[in-house]
Amino acid sequence: MIKGSVFNQFMLMYIFNLLLVSINAFPLEDDASLKNIYSLSTEDTMMRVGIKNNAPALFQMNSTGNKWNWASRPREISLMNHVYIRGERKSIKWEFKDALLEEKNGTKLALNFKAAHPPLELSSIWKAYPGPGPIEHEILIRNLSTEEIQIPIQKTIDFQLLLPIRHQIECWWVEKGNGTPSLIGTHKEIIYDGYYFYKPSTPYCLAPGADMIPWITIQDRKALHGFYMGIESSGQVCINISANGTPLILDVKSGIDDTYVEYRSRIPPQGSYETPACFIGCFKGDVDDGANRLHRFVETRLRPPVHDARYPLLVNNSWGSGMAVDDTLARKMIDDAAALGIEIFHLDAGWYKGVGEWRPHPDKFPKGLVPIVDYAHQKGMLFGLWVGWAQGGNPPNGMSKLAVSNPDMKNWFPRDLPEQWRPEDFTGETVCLACDQAKSWCLEELRRIVKEYKIDLLEHDQRVAVEVCPRSNHRHLDNPADISHHATNGYYEIYDRLRKEFPRLIFENCVNGGRMVDFGVAKRVHYICFTDTYNPLSNRRGFYDASFPLPPSMCEAYVAHHPGPTLDTFKAMLRSGMMGWCAIMCDTSSWTMEQKAAAKRQFEIYKTWIRPLINKGNLYHIEKRPDGVRWDGMQYYDPQTGKGIVFAFRATTSRKDHIYKLKGLLTTEEYQIRYEDGTSTSSLQTGDHLMNYGLFVRLEEPETSELIYIEKR
């Protein structure tokens, strides 16, 4: 028999839970006392934002059709409460001024605040676009005074969110590839009372697992819904999360990272400062469902426009021959790549006179680059060029070269270097792009390269944004977060200008393979290299990780020559790089005739079947992350065309059979299943069977693969 006091406690808790659900289900809708509350929505995400205690606040956040309000415990965003003038700290008080609402191609809301002493304005700017995806937020601060001010940290997102009771809530995040993907890569952590999360993203990740791609997803596994957020910056930024209480209250902050060093930045008289834009979006389903909705947003709202219907294009990169590339070898590679159906020839490092002197080496290219570019165009191929344009060398003085020893340029670099210093073959001293003169020189040099050499694709490699620079005449102050903030803004200004002047130019971001992977660079380039290790396992691991936050069309794999002992292992090598943007980093003229025939078939499949799915389909991580032992695999499915594909990989395991449970199909529809290599018999199966019982695959040899076509009848 239950004692009365225990029963009463049980009933009170039951009633409390019902009230909690009710409060979250119907937030604020009929509260006439609330003022200055505005609604924004995308196809997926609904928000109500407004004013609380003279600051912006989030009052409602939920996915379309889902009543759970993550923001039912609203808290104002903390606005900076002081500035520095001539070194003296001055307190400031913000007052709400007005709100401006624009409804053109979506909704843009600016909540405007003012401070009197010194005269400042602050705008909390929210943007929601038609179609799937999140809502963006950024903060703009204007200095209306007649003298320079310095400001402290101002976070872009500072929310308090409520988590459902007795639900298993997970936090997902992924590492940058950092040269080589680590053993973990994709992290899934249970959120509990006392949970704390902090992870930075920097312009140049230095160690495995040190940086995250600035994206997280919070997933309710019981109710199958959640939200994700990201930062549109390549600077020193971070996401902080802490969870406490019953029910769990999630404290969420994102923006500039001031964790270890006090942040300050200067605003000149009548100047302005923008915090890194952040986004937050809600979804229904699991993490893949949220990621697929985010992919559509990145493709349509962040990534530069695509002007070639063949995107993502097939590339042959000369780095398969390293620094040895010359006119003769380049022509040979172009001939062979064109015969295989490859669409871009990409001339990698080794073509130039020296670091900082981005002109053809006269011994390797005695007639210059233009004849090689013309030759590729005659073969029906585009031409790409590697340029480490932010790297300075030590050639003889001359303004046509970026030189650390040039007296007019020495101050552009973060440090003075000894006279005997020399660069490596393809890396030197990174210029600080927070220096206006350095930024102008780099822009002019890139304009010259694009025009003079008639290139179709520009790759930037090596570090482009510094985090340490003591120079006092650059735009930044002497703290790493502000240095990287202004240096990345300098990089953005260069690429934003180039894209306007050369709208059909394709941009690739390498930065030593996976060290600069974020949504800020995603707004400037068409694709991003996620690892600098090019074997099949690393390519599959890197793609698995990066394709959660980034569209697969932007995830580039370099396929190096790891053919294995058989033709089937050779095909697995190619397929490991064919799930997103595929760059063949091999001298294909060294392949056997049998390998060339197999490669030509794979490339045809890529162009006719896989590429449309990369662009329009949903991507599903249907197996655990590749570990080099067990089976792994990925699935695409496009509900509009009813077509899909499964990439099946058997690693070194002795198990010859595997079952893949598919996702995203219609349970009552029938699907034709075909095996490219004929490893199993074609069949007709229902979506229910494929998702609940699975797809059978058998591979006789380890480290081989299969492509399985899915087509709705």
Give residue 395's pLDDT band: very low, low, confident or very high (50, 70, 90): confident
Mean local confidence (pLDDT), 102-109: 94
35 against 228, higher pLDDT: 228
Domain of 412, in residue numbers: 392-503
Within this chain, do residues 400 and 292 fall inside the same structural domain, yes or no?
A: no
CA neighbours closer than 13 Å in the CB half-sphere of residue 282 = 26
- pTM confidence score: 0.95
Pairwise CA distance, residues 364 & 172, whole Å: 48
Residues contacting 681, CB < 8 A, separation 6+:
675
Pairwise CA distance, residues 664 & 687, whole Å: 9
Q: For residue 307, is it within any domain?
A: no
34: pLDDT strictly greater than 60: no
Q: For residue 684, is it within any domain?
A: yes
Pairwise CA distance, residues 601 & 341, whole Å: 9
Q: What HEC string does 332-385 produce? A: HHHHHHHHHCCCEEEECCCCEEECCEEEECCCCCCCCCHHHHHHHHHCCCEEEE
What pLDDT sits at residue 20? 43
What pLDDT sits at residue 355? 96
Within this chain, do residues 298 and 398 fall inside the same structural domain, yes or no?
A: no
Query: Which DSSP letter does residue 610 get?
Result: I
47: pLDDT strictly greater than 50: yes
Q: For residue 193, is it within any domain?
A: yes
Instruction: Please check whether residue 401 is in contact with residue 441, taking contact to mean a CB–CB distance below 8 angstroms.
Output: no
CA distances (Å), origin 404, targets 358, 359, 395, 422, 620: 15, 18, 9, 10, 48
What pLDDT sits at residue 207? 87
Specify the CATH number for the domain of residue 693: 2.60.40.1180
Q: For residue 206, is it within any domain?
A: yes
In the chain, % of residues over pLDDT 70: 95
Handedness of CA 453, 457, 459, 464 (dihedral sign): positive
692: pLDDT strictly greater than 50: yes
Mean local confidence (pLDDT), 518-524: 98
Tens digit of pLDDT for each residue in 454-487? Answer: 999 999 999 999 999 999 999 999 999 999 999 9
Domain termination site, one of 287, 302, 317: 302
Domain termination site, one of 503, 531, 559: 503
The whole-chain average pLDDT of the chain stands at 94
Within this chain, do residues 169 and 287 fall inside the same structural domain, yes or no?
A: yes
Mean local confidence (pLDDT), 586-595: 94
Tens digit of pLDDT for each residue in 622-651? Answer: 999 999 999 999 999 999 999 999 999 999
Q: For residue 476, is it within any domain?
A: yes
What pLDDT sits at residue 7? 41
24: pLDDT strictly greater than 60: no
What pLDDT sits at residue 208? 84
Tens digit of pLDDT for each residue in 171-226? Answer: 999 999 988 999 999 999 999 999 999 999 999 999 888 999 999 999 999 999 99
Q: For residue 205, is it within any domain?
A: yes
Mean local confidence (pLDDT), 143-147: 97
Pairwise CA distance, residues 420 & 423, whole Å: 10
Q: For residue 326, is it within any domain?
A: no
Within this chain, do residues 187 and 291 fall inside the same structural domain, yes or no?
A: yes
The number of distinct structural domains making up the chain is: 3
Within this chain, do residues 175 and 297 fall inside the same structural domain, yes or no?
A: yes
Within this chain, do residues 286 and 405 fall inside the same structural domain, yes or no?
A: no
Q: For residue 9, is it within any domain?
A: no
Give residue 272's pLDDT band: very low, low, confident or very high (50, 70, 90): very high
137: pLDDT strictly greater than 90: yes
290: pLDDT strictly greater than 80: yes
Give residue 65's pLDDT band: very low, low, confident or very high (50, 70, 90): confident
Within this chain, do residues 288 and 184 fall inside the same structural domain, yes or no?
A: yes
What pLDDT sits at residue 29? 41
Beta strands in 379-532 (DSSP E): 382-387, 391-392, 429-430, 457-460, 506-509, 527-529
Tens digit of pLDDT for each residue in 566-581? Answer: 999 999 999 999 999 9
Domain termination site, one of 237, 267, 302: 302
Within this chain, do residues 290 and 396 fall inside the same structural domain, yes or no?
A: no
22: pLDDT strictly greater than 70: no
Residue the block writes with tokens 């038609």: 130
Give residue 5's pLDDT band: very low, low, confident or very high (50, 70, 90): very low
Give residue 398's pLDDT band: very low, low, confident or very high (50, 70, 90): low
Mean local confidence (pLDDT), 670-692: 98
11: pLDDT strictly greater than 90: no
Of 31-35, 301-305, 379-383, 582-586, where does mean pLDDT reach its minimum? 31-35
